Structure 1
Amino acid sequence: MPAPDDHLARFDVSDLDLIADPYPVLNEIREAMPIFWNDTTNQWVLTRFDDISTSLRDRRMGRAYSHRFTDAEFGRPAPDPRWASFHAHERWSLLALEPPDHTRLRRLVQKVFTPRAVALLADDIQAVSDRLLDECAERSTFDLLGDYAQPFSVEVICSMLGIPVADARSLLDWSHSIVKMYELDADDATKQAADRAAGEFIAFTQDLIAHKRQHPDDLLVSELARVEDEGDTLTEPEIVSTTMVLLEAGHEATVNTLGNGFRALMHHPDEWRRLTAGEVDAKAAVEELLRFDSPLQLFERWVLDDGVEIAGQQIDVGQEIAMLFGSAQRDPRRFVEPDRFDIGRNDPSHIGFGGGIHFCIGAPLARLELATSIANIVARFPTLTLAAEPRYHPTFVIRGLEELMLTA
């Protein structure tokens, strides 16, 4: 068996071969070591499901540290002023907050973003899906991402937020630029583009909030602007960050889950036949699509308290851990035959939506969008085949395809 250093040498997130298929390398590293130090990113990296699942819920760690430490106290540099717009976009994001701010903000958002509000979208989601698939059916070959998943997800979230669908193209462009900031190897040009997109998105959202205050409706941005709980309300920066993260996280996760998942289905025709034969329900299929080829491969947390030990390794305050979701979702200690794509596995306890206080607030909406899409595509195109082998975007953290050409 290769030495641990040999495995780590192959863990290069800029390597296109790794990006094309990271799982053999991730499997080797996970079986060789549950935790390792990454000199390139200065992080402890976790590889196994139980350690990652536990760490997602460990309150001695957090997504942020500014609620308890200054940058100097934490031994970290101050935020780069060149990316001020991106940092402003992050400032009140639910993904970047810790209690008490996170508790307060999530409580207020959940008063608006309720299961009932999501359930009321079912007919609209079905209608958007039907219309886009009608257009796909007019072509012999179509791109599942560009022709369906992207316009579908952004139109659904626009309808929920109360954003004009005419602005969807700008929203897509901003989202695609901003999420590249989360990559481990993002260069200055990528960061500059992300910061510019964040600034434009912030200005757009501020204008939208002002409009909703003058012309309120019963949609999400308008409701966020007037939500109240025992006299507590959301500030404009909080509404801006919340609106942006709901669109970015929801859109990217839905699109990439559909793309990665349908690529897997086309490579496993027996599993596709289980769907078309009605053996497996679309709601069950969603869970395997989220597990098998994770749209989010890595998630990070800071150690905030003394005494944290993971897999026998003491981790100091001020150090960061990176959790390899793609590795955890293929851990044989947790999943039977984890490298087997089993569309009927139906295990919702995966970590595709994270865990702990940062469990994805949009999970019910994502599951509804995905199940509706799977059911409709299966019903419309039971003989679907892959028209060309797709390529993944050259990014590791956010995993998704450039396009997915299918023949009906």
Structure 2
Amino acid sequence: MATPPPSQFAALLRQSKFASFDPHIGQVYASYGGHAHRGNWGLKRPLPLRRRKATVTVKTVDSRQQQTEWKSAEPQDRWIKMWDEVGVTPRVYTGPWATKLGPLVSLQWEIDSEFSQGTRDVQDIDGLEQELKKKSKAVPNIFAMSKTERARYMEELREARPEFRKYFRVQQRARERGEDINEAVVEAEVEAEPEEAHPVSLWEQSDNPNHIQEFLERRAAKEYNAPNAHIIEQRPQRFGGLVYASSSQLQSLFLSPPRAGRILQGQGTNTRPGLRLVGRAQDDDMVASFAGMTSSLNKNNRGLAMPVDWSRLSSTGERNPQASITDFRFAQAELVGAPETVAKNPAGIKSVHMRTEVEHCSADDDALTQANPHPPGSREYIAHEGHSTKNTMSMIRSTPKKGASFRASPTAKADLLMTLNKVVESSEPNTYSWTEKPL
């Protein structure tokens, strides 16, 4: 018996936005080609937005009033594209997002492989991969839990208290003997240690809190790697999905040109505590508008631009729009809070909290141009014809160039005067007036 062909409705459903729509996940939808011209967004009904490269966010596909609740997502789309243009990798130090990441905050990307040409032999270390798998940085974060989840997690820790005391005694014994701590030996001694042997008070255990963190990492790795495990090790994106490629400062310097910005306020007027970076005095900062955000600007890095004179603008109405505009570049950016895109009420770009600092950088600066395609320092780089050596220091004293001298003969002077007289005679204007002009 032949099987019936698949239904066309199932194929249309997989191609529509219904397959990926979830009201608890903040998503941005786009439509392309002729579908955007017709307002077809893959939803139940067409939308009145019929522009190319338009984006929307959908709250409800079909409400009680039989309407599709949507709003424009142009600011979010432009803001994400802006970060691709500036080419800056933010840092995570303190704040709500750093608290949610937990131990992953300490992992920094410090590799610049494009400008590192050195190589070294690979060393095979037996058992290194197994040793790394015995600990996991994805420890449950109590700051990101609800009250019910926190109470359940605390109950699990109370049940694991005897195991932690055994682990602490074995670690203390190995430290007293001065031996290298081996995880395999520790696990074997923990299993063989009797429960009531050599009791240790909680006061002695609290003297070294690193044992608690190591025990939690060891316990989390065992839960993730268990054969019957039902949980997956969480590895959240470090920057909340803002950027996925780590760009070094040298790469951003050559590949991301500076953009135009405006100085809004002068020194001493920046009273926003969340705008200033750590370790910066209030009088040293200005407020600049750059890349859709208000950023901090050091008064010594503003170039020739002046802040907007708001008092003069309000009293006389005179303004000079170009006086406060100059080219900026991000000096550093710090991600403090990321939006909750998966929640009961997903948040958008307005819930992002960042601290940024800009600096003046001219687009015509010769120091930022790179016309030599070869790796710096190589023979091809030095022998490149387009390489400029006007600022290169030399140990050889340069010979001054003699000025050119011209000696004109009497015949040449006479020929030059005759030529100039002919030019003057041919270019004399007509002296007649409008009334004397011949018909």
Structure with max Cα Rg? 2
TM-score normalized with structure 2 length: 0.20
Whichever structure has more helix as a proportion of its residues is 1
TM-score normalized with structure 1 length: 0.21
Where relative contact order (Cα < 8 A, 6+ residues apart) is larger, the structure is 1
